[in-house]
Structure 1
Protein backbone atom coordinates (compact mmCIF):
# COMPACT_ATOMS: atom_id res chain seq x y z
CA UNK A 1 0.00 0.00 0.00
CA UNK A 2 2.82 2.43 0.92
CA UNK A 3 4.58 1.58 -2.36
CA UNK A 4 1.44 2.50 -4.32
CA UNK A 5 1.13 5.81 -2.47
CA UNK A 6 4.82 6.63 -3.08
CA UNK A 7 4.54 5.64 -6.76
CA UNK A 8 1.42 7.82 -7.12
CA UNK A 9 3.08 10.78 -5.38
CA UNK A 10 6.20 10.42 -7.53
CA UNK A 11 4.07 10.29 -10.69
CA UNK A 12 2.16 13.42 -9.59
CA UNK A 13 5.42 15.22 -8.80
CA UNK A 14 6.90 14.35 -12.22
CA UNK A 15 3.68 15.41 -13.95
CA UNK A 16 3.74 18.70 -12.05
CA UNK A 17 7.37 19.34 -13.03
CA UNK A 18 6.56 18.58 -16.65
CA UNK A 19 3.64 21.03 -16.63
CA UNK A 20 5.77 23.74 -15.01
CA UNK A 21 8.53 23.16 -17.55
CA UNK A 22 6.14 23.33 -20.51
CA UNK A 23 4.33 26.45 -19.34
CA UNK A 24 7.59 28.10 -18.32
CA UNK A 25 9.04 27.56 -21.79
CA UNK A 26 5.95 28.87 -23.57
CA UNK A 27 6.11 32.10 -21.56
CA UNK A 28 9.71 32.60 -22.66
CA UNK A 29 8.77 32.45 -26.37
CA UNK A 30 9.50 35.94 -27.63
CA UNK A 31 8.50 35.29 -31.21
CA UNK A 32 12.13 35.53 -32.27
CA UNK A 33 13.94 32.82 -34.13
CA UNK A 34 14.59 29.98 -31.72
CA UNK A 35 16.87 28.16 -34.12
CA UNK A 36 20.38 29.42 -33.61
CA UNK A 37 21.46 30.37 -37.12
CA UNK A 38 24.44 32.58 -36.48
CA UNK A 39 24.83 32.76 -32.72
CA UNK A 40 22.18 35.50 -32.64
CA UNK A 41 18.69 34.13 -32.00
CA UNK A 42 17.08 37.41 -33.07
CA UNK A 43 18.08 36.61 -36.66
CA UNK A 44 15.43 35.26 -38.99
CA UNK A 45 16.83 32.66 -41.34
CA UNK A 46 17.97 29.11 -41.78
CA UNK A 47 21.45 27.70 -41.38
CA UNK A 48 23.54 25.99 -44.02
CA UNK A 49 26.13 25.12 -41.39
CA UNK A 50 27.23 26.50 -38.10
CA UNK A 51 30.14 28.88 -38.01
CA UNK A 52 31.91 31.05 -35.53
CA UNK A 53 32.96 33.42 -38.32
CA UNK A 54 31.11 36.70 -38.42
CA UNK A 55 31.15 37.44 -42.15
CA UNK A 56 32.59 40.35 -44.07
CA UNK A 57 32.73 43.57 -42.12
CA UNK A 58 31.94 47.13 -43.19
CA UNK A 59 34.99 48.66 -44.85
CA UNK A 60 36.25 45.39 -46.34
CA UNK A 61 36.72 45.01 -50.08
CA UNK A 62 34.06 42.65 -51.43
CA UNK A 63 35.83 39.52 -52.70
CA UNK A 64 35.63 39.24 -56.46
CA UNK A 65 33.86 36.24 -57.96
CA UNK A 66 32.62 34.96 -61.29
CA UNK A 67 29.46 32.86 -61.50
CA UNK A 68 27.11 31.67 -64.21
CA UNK A 69 23.50 32.83 -64.22
CA UNK A 70 20.43 30.68 -64.82
CA UNK A 71 20.32 32.10 -68.34
CA UNK A 72 23.91 30.94 -69.02
CA UNK A 73 25.61 34.33 -68.85
CA UNK A 74 28.70 34.93 -66.72
CA UNK A 75 28.67 37.66 -64.06
CA UNK A 76 31.92 38.92 -62.58
CA UNK A 77 31.58 41.19 -59.53
CA UNK A 78 34.56 43.33 -60.58
CA UNK A 79 32.73 44.19 -63.83
CA UNK A 80 30.12 45.98 -61.68
CA UNK A 81 32.69 48.37 -60.13
CA UNK A 82 31.11 51.83 -60.12
CA UNK A 83 27.62 50.43 -59.40
CA UNK A 84 25.82 49.82 -56.13
CA UNK A 85 25.31 46.09 -55.60
CA UNK A 86 23.22 43.92 -53.27
CA UNK A 87 24.58 40.37 -53.07
CA UNK A 88 21.85 38.12 -51.72
CA UNK A 89 22.48 34.46 -50.81
CA UNK A 90 19.37 32.23 -50.92
CA UNK A 91 17.93 28.76 -51.56
CA UNK A 92 14.61 27.43 -52.87
CA UNK A 93 14.06 25.43 -49.66
CA UNK A 94 14.51 28.47 -47.39
CA UNK A 95 11.16 29.93 -46.14
CA UNK A 96 12.62 33.35 -45.19
CA UNK A 97 14.20 33.54 -48.67
CA UNK A 98 10.82 32.86 -50.26
CA UNK A 99 9.35 35.61 -48.08
CA UNK A 100 11.78 38.28 -49.27
CA UNK A 101 12.04 37.40 -52.96
CA UNK A 102 8.78 39.08 -54.05
CA UNK A 103 9.94 42.19 -52.18
CA UNK A 104 13.25 42.00 -54.02
CA UNK A 105 11.45 41.68 -57.36
CA UNK A 106 9.29 44.72 -56.65
CA UNK A 107 12.37 46.67 -55.53
CA UNK A 108 14.36 45.57 -58.60
CA UNK A 109 11.57 46.63 -60.94
CA UNK A 110 11.64 50.13 -59.45
CA UNK A 111 15.36 50.60 -58.79
CA UNK A 112 17.32 48.43 -61.26
CA UNK A 113 18.77 51.59 -62.80
CA UNK A 114 20.28 52.52 -59.39
CA UNK A 115 21.44 49.18 -57.97
CA UNK A 116 22.31 45.71 -59.19
CA UNK A 117 20.84 42.76 -57.31
CA UNK A 118 22.80 39.52 -57.55
CA UNK A 119 20.76 36.65 -56.13
CA UNK A 120 23.39 33.98 -55.45
CA UNK A 121 21.69 30.61 -55.18
CA UNK A 122 23.52 28.13 -52.95
CA UNK A 123 23.16 25.59 -55.73
CA UNK A 124 25.47 23.10 -54.03
CA UNK A 125 22.79 22.76 -51.31
CA UNK A 126 19.83 22.41 -53.70
CA UNK A 127 18.13 19.17 -54.79
CA UNK A 128 18.84 20.00 -58.42
CA UNK A 129 19.50 22.81 -60.85
CA UNK A 130 16.05 22.11 -62.29
CA UNK A 131 14.50 22.97 -58.89
CA UNK A 132 16.18 26.39 -59.01
CA UNK A 133 15.13 26.97 -62.63
CA UNK A 134 11.52 25.89 -61.96
CA UNK A 135 11.35 28.09 -58.86
CA UNK A 136 12.59 31.15 -60.75
CA UNK A 137 10.33 30.50 -63.75
CA UNK A 138 7.29 29.90 -61.57
CA UNK A 139 7.62 33.26 -59.80
CA UNK A 140 9.04 35.16 -62.81
CA UNK A 141 11.98 36.74 -61.03
CA UNK A 142 13.89 39.03 -63.40
CA UNK A 143 16.94 39.96 -61.34
CA UNK A 144 20.07 37.91 -62.07
CA UNK A 145 20.14 34.54 -60.33
CA UNK A 146 23.70 33.30 -60.02
CA UNK A 147 24.56 29.64 -59.42
CA UNK A 148 27.11 28.84 -56.72
CA UNK A 149 27.38 25.14 -57.57
CA UNK A 150 30.52 24.51 -55.52
CA UNK A 151 29.57 26.92 -52.69
CA UNK A 152 32.92 28.71 -52.98
CA UNK A 153 31.37 32.19 -53.07
CA UNK A 154 28.96 31.31 -50.27
CA UNK A 155 31.89 30.21 -48.11
CA UNK A 156 34.06 33.18 -49.04
CA UNK A 157 31.26 35.56 -48.05
CA UNK A 158 30.56 33.46 -44.94
CA UNK A 159 26.86 33.30 -45.78
CA UNK A 160 26.10 30.48 -43.36
CA UNK A 161 22.57 31.68 -42.57
CA UNK A 162 20.01 32.25 -45.31
CA UNK A 163 19.08 34.65 -46.59
CA UNK A 164 22.20 36.80 -46.18
CA UNK A 165 22.66 40.06 -48.06
CA UNK A 166 25.73 42.24 -48.45
CA UNK A 167 25.59 45.90 -49.51
CA UNK A 168 28.45 46.93 -51.77
CA UNK A 169 29.15 50.55 -52.72
CA UNK A 170 30.40 51.91 -56.04
CA UNK A 171 33.94 51.55 -54.69
CA UNK A 172 33.54 47.76 -54.35
CA UNK A 173 33.60 47.97 -50.55
CA UNK A 174 31.06 46.58 -48.08
CA UNK A 175 29.44 49.82 -46.89
CA UNK A 176 26.65 48.59 -44.59
CA UNK A 177 26.43 45.67 -42.14
CA UNK A 178 25.20 42.46 -43.74
CA UNK A 179 21.56 41.52 -43.28
CA UNK A 180 20.74 38.00 -42.19
CA UNK A 181 17.06 37.27 -42.67
CA UNK A 182 14.43 38.52 -45.09
CA UNK A 183 14.51 42.09 -46.34
CA UNK A 184 11.50 44.30 -46.93
CA UNK A 185 11.09 46.80 -49.75
CA UNK A 186 11.53 49.69 -47.30
CA UNK A 187 14.70 48.18 -45.85
CA UNK A 188 16.20 47.77 -49.33
CA UNK A 189 15.33 51.36 -50.16
CA UNK A 190 17.04 52.51 -46.95
CA UNK A 191 20.16 50.49 -47.82
CA UNK A 192 20.21 51.91 -51.35
CA UNK A 193 20.12 55.46 -49.98
CA UNK A 194 23.00 54.72 -47.58
CA UNK A 195 25.33 53.39 -50.27
CA UNK A 196 27.66 55.72 -52.11
Structure 2
Protein backbone atom coordinates (compact mmCIF):
# COMPACT_ATOMS: atom_id res chain seq x y z
CA UNK A 1 0.00 0.00 0.00
CA UNK A 2 1.46 3.36 -0.94
CA UNK A 3 1.82 6.28 1.48
CA UNK A 4 -1.00 8.34 -0.09
CA UNK A 5 -3.53 5.51 0.22
CA UNK A 6 -2.49 4.84 3.82
CA UNK A 7 -2.79 8.54 4.67
CA UNK A 8 -6.24 8.67 3.04
CA UNK A 9 -7.41 5.69 5.12
CA UNK A 10 -6.11 7.24 8.35
CA UNK A 11 -7.74 10.59 7.51
CA UNK A 12 -11.04 8.86 6.70
CA UNK A 13 -10.99 7.02 10.03
CA UNK A 14 -10.24 10.23 11.93
CA UNK A 15 -13.11 12.04 10.21
CA UNK A 16 -15.47 9.15 10.95
CA UNK A 17 -14.52 9.17 14.65
CA UNK A 18 -15.03 12.92 14.89
CA UNK A 19 -18.36 12.70 13.05
CA UNK A 20 -19.69 9.96 15.31
CA UNK A 21 -18.66 11.84 18.45
CA UNK A 22 -19.91 15.22 17.23
CA UNK A 23 -23.15 14.41 15.47
CA UNK A 24 -24.39 11.42 17.39
CA UNK A 25 -24.06 12.49 21.02
CA UNK A 26 -23.63 9.87 23.67
CA UNK A 27 -25.41 9.93 27.01
CA UNK A 28 -23.60 8.73 30.10
CA UNK A 29 -20.37 7.09 29.14
CA UNK A 30 -19.29 4.15 31.22
CA UNK A 31 -21.03 1.14 32.63
CA UNK A 32 -24.77 0.87 33.02
CA UNK A 33 -25.68 1.08 36.66
CA UNK A 34 -28.20 -1.02 38.48
CA UNK A 35 -30.39 0.82 40.99
CA UNK A 36 -28.42 -0.84 43.79
CA UNK A 37 -25.06 0.24 42.33
CA UNK A 38 -26.30 3.79 41.80
CA UNK A 39 -27.63 3.98 45.37
CA UNK A 40 -24.34 2.61 46.71
CA UNK A 41 -22.33 5.19 44.70
CA UNK A 42 -24.63 8.00 45.85
CA UNK A 43 -24.01 7.04 49.47
CA UNK A 44 -20.21 6.91 49.12
CA UNK A 45 -17.72 9.73 49.34
CA UNK A 46 -15.75 8.63 46.29
CA UNK A 47 -14.37 11.53 44.30
CA UNK A 48 -14.19 10.85 40.57
CA UNK A 49 -15.84 11.42 37.23
CA UNK A 50 -18.11 8.38 37.21
CA UNK A 51 -21.85 8.81 37.64
CA UNK A 52 -22.70 9.01 41.35
CA UNK A 53 -19.22 10.13 42.41
CA UNK A 54 -18.47 13.50 43.96
CA UNK A 55 -17.13 15.69 41.15
CA UNK A 56 -13.42 16.48 41.57
CA UNK A 57 -12.98 20.03 42.84
CA UNK A 58 -10.79 22.51 41.01
CA UNK A 59 -9.89 26.18 41.07
CA UNK A 60 -9.45 28.25 37.90
CA UNK A 61 -9.37 31.91 36.99
CA UNK A 62 -12.42 33.35 35.23
CA UNK A 63 -12.17 35.69 32.25
CA UNK A 64 -12.41 38.53 34.78
CA UNK A 65 -9.33 37.23 36.62
CA UNK A 66 -11.39 36.27 39.67
CA UNK A 67 -10.75 32.73 40.99
CA UNK A 68 -13.58 30.20 41.13
CA UNK A 69 -13.86 26.71 42.63
CA UNK A 70 -16.37 24.09 41.58
CA UNK A 71 -17.14 23.55 45.28
CA UNK A 72 -18.27 27.22 45.50
CA UNK A 73 -21.44 26.06 43.73
CA UNK A 74 -22.34 23.25 46.15
CA UNK A 75 -26.08 23.53 46.79
CA UNK A 76 -26.76 24.45 43.15
CA UNK A 77 -27.12 22.22 40.13
CA UNK A 78 -24.21 22.77 37.75
CA UNK A 79 -23.72 22.19 34.05
CA UNK A 80 -19.93 21.80 33.83
CA UNK A 81 -19.18 22.28 30.15
CA UNK A 82 -15.84 21.95 28.32
CA UNK A 83 -15.43 23.85 25.04
CA UNK A 84 -13.13 25.76 22.68
CA UNK A 85 -13.70 28.64 20.23
CA UNK A 86 -12.72 26.62 17.15
CA UNK A 87 -15.22 23.79 17.83
CA UNK A 88 -18.29 23.91 15.50
CA UNK A 89 -20.57 21.91 17.86
CA UNK A 90 -19.52 24.24 20.71
CA UNK A 91 -20.51 27.23 18.56
CA UNK A 92 -23.90 25.61 17.90
CA UNK A 93 -24.44 24.92 21.61
CA UNK A 94 -23.51 28.35 23.05
CA UNK A 95 -26.68 30.28 22.09
CA UNK A 96 -28.75 27.52 23.75
CA UNK A 97 -26.58 27.62 26.87
CA UNK A 98 -26.83 31.40 27.13
CA UNK A 99 -30.60 31.38 26.69
CA UNK A 100 -31.01 28.55 29.21
CA UNK A 101 -28.75 30.34 31.70
CA UNK A 102 -30.68 33.61 31.40
CA UNK A 103 -33.99 31.83 32.00
CA UNK A 104 -32.76 29.70 34.92
CA UNK A 105 -29.86 31.45 36.68
CA UNK A 106 -32.07 32.39 39.64
CA UNK A 107 -33.30 28.81 40.09
CA UNK A 108 -30.39 27.35 42.05
CA UNK A 109 -28.42 26.35 38.96
CA UNK A 110 -25.43 27.62 37.04
CA UNK A 111 -23.32 26.90 34.01
CA UNK A 112 -19.55 26.71 34.36
CA UNK A 113 -18.23 26.68 30.79
CA UNK A 114 -14.56 25.74 31.10
CA UNK A 115 -12.61 26.96 28.10
CA UNK A 116 -9.84 24.55 27.17
CA UNK A 117 -7.49 27.51 26.88
CA UNK A 118 -4.34 25.42 26.39
CA UNK A 119 -5.96 23.99 23.24
CA UNK A 120 -7.57 27.21 22.04
CA UNK A 121 -6.43 30.08 19.80
CA UNK A 122 -5.45 32.56 22.52
CA UNK A 123 -7.05 35.09 24.83
CA UNK A 124 -8.15 37.44 22.05
CA UNK A 125 -10.08 34.66 20.28
CA UNK A 126 -11.79 33.72 23.55
CA UNK A 127 -12.70 37.35 24.35
CA UNK A 128 -14.10 37.85 20.83
CA UNK A 129 -16.11 34.61 21.04
CA UNK A 130 -17.61 35.56 24.41
CA UNK A 131 -18.53 39.03 23.12
CA UNK A 132 -19.95 37.74 19.81
CA UNK A 133 -22.16 35.19 21.58
CA UNK A 134 -23.09 37.53 24.46
CA UNK A 135 -22.08 34.98 27.08
CA UNK A 136 -22.71 35.99 30.69
CA UNK A 137 -22.26 32.72 32.59
CA UNK A 138 -18.95 32.01 34.38
CA UNK A 139 -16.13 30.97 32.03
CA UNK A 140 -13.12 29.47 33.83
CA UNK A 141 -9.91 29.25 31.78
CA UNK A 142 -8.08 25.90 31.79
CA UNK A 143 -4.72 27.33 30.73
CA UNK A 144 -2.73 24.14 31.39
CA UNK A 145 -5.43 21.63 30.35
CA UNK A 146 -5.28 20.06 33.81
CA UNK A 147 -9.04 20.15 34.39
CA UNK A 148 -9.89 18.97 30.87
CA UNK A 149 -7.52 16.06 31.42
CA UNK A 150 -8.89 15.36 34.91
CA UNK A 151 -12.43 15.18 33.49
CA UNK A 152 -11.26 13.07 30.53
CA UNK A 153 -12.48 15.60 27.98
CA UNK A 154 -11.50 14.05 24.67
CA UNK A 155 -14.39 15.16 22.48
CA UNK A 156 -15.87 18.64 22.85
CA UNK A 157 -18.26 19.84 23.87
CA UNK A 158 -18.47 17.54 26.86
CA UNK A 159 -20.70 18.39 29.82
CA UNK A 160 -21.11 16.96 33.28
CA UNK A 161 -24.39 17.47 35.10
CA UNK A 162 -23.70 17.88 38.81
CA UNK A 163 -26.41 17.77 41.48
CA UNK A 164 -26.78 20.03 44.51
CA UNK A 165 -24.84 17.47 46.56
CA UNK A 166 -21.81 17.80 44.27
CA UNK A 167 -22.32 14.37 42.69
CA UNK A 168 -22.13 13.70 38.97
CA UNK A 169 -25.55 12.82 37.63
CA UNK A 170 -24.67 12.48 33.93
CA UNK A 171 -21.88 12.94 31.42
CA UNK A 172 -23.05 14.18 28.04
CA UNK A 173 -20.85 14.30 24.95
CA UNK A 174 -21.97 16.61 22.15
CA UNK A 175 -23.91 19.85 21.86
CA UNK A 176 -27.01 20.36 24.00
CA UNK A 177 -30.12 22.44 23.43
CA UNK A 178 -32.31 24.04 26.10
CA UNK A 179 -34.77 21.15 26.22
CA UNK A 180 -32.01 18.63 26.86
CA UNK A 181 -30.37 20.84 29.51
CA UNK A 182 -33.69 21.12 31.34
CA UNK A 183 -34.22 17.36 31.17
CA UNK A 184 -30.73 16.53 32.44
CA UNK A 185 -30.91 19.04 35.30
CA UNK A 186 -34.34 17.77 36.30
CA UNK A 187 -32.88 14.27 36.63
CA UNK A 188 -30.02 15.53 38.85
CA UNK A 189 -30.39 15.68 42.65
TM-score by length of 1: 0.73
Match of 1:99 among 81, 92, 100: 92
Match of 2:144 among 150, 172, 175: 150
Indicate the residue corresponding to 2:22 in structure 1: 44
Quote the Cα distance in structure 1 between the aligned partners of 2:96 and 2:121. 25
Indicate the residue corresponding to 1:9 in structure 2: none
Match of 2:63 among 42, 66, 70: 70
Quote the Cα distance in structure 2 between the aligned partners of 1:171 and 1:119. 19
Q: 1:81 Cα deviation (Å)?
A: 1.1
Unaligned 5+ runs, structure 2: 1-13, 24-28, 31-47
Indicate the residue corresponding to 2:173 in structure 1: 180
Residue 88 in 1 paired to residue 98 in 2?
no
SS state at 1:105 partner: helix
TM-score by length of 2: 0.76
Q: 1:97 Cα deviation (Å)?
A: 0.2
Unaligned 5+ runs, structure 1: 1-32, 46-52
Larger Rg: 1
**2:94–2:133 CA contact under 8 A, matched in 1:** no
CA RMSD of aligned residues (A): 1.9
Q: 1:56 Cα deviation (Å)?
A: 2.4
The number of aligned residues is: 153
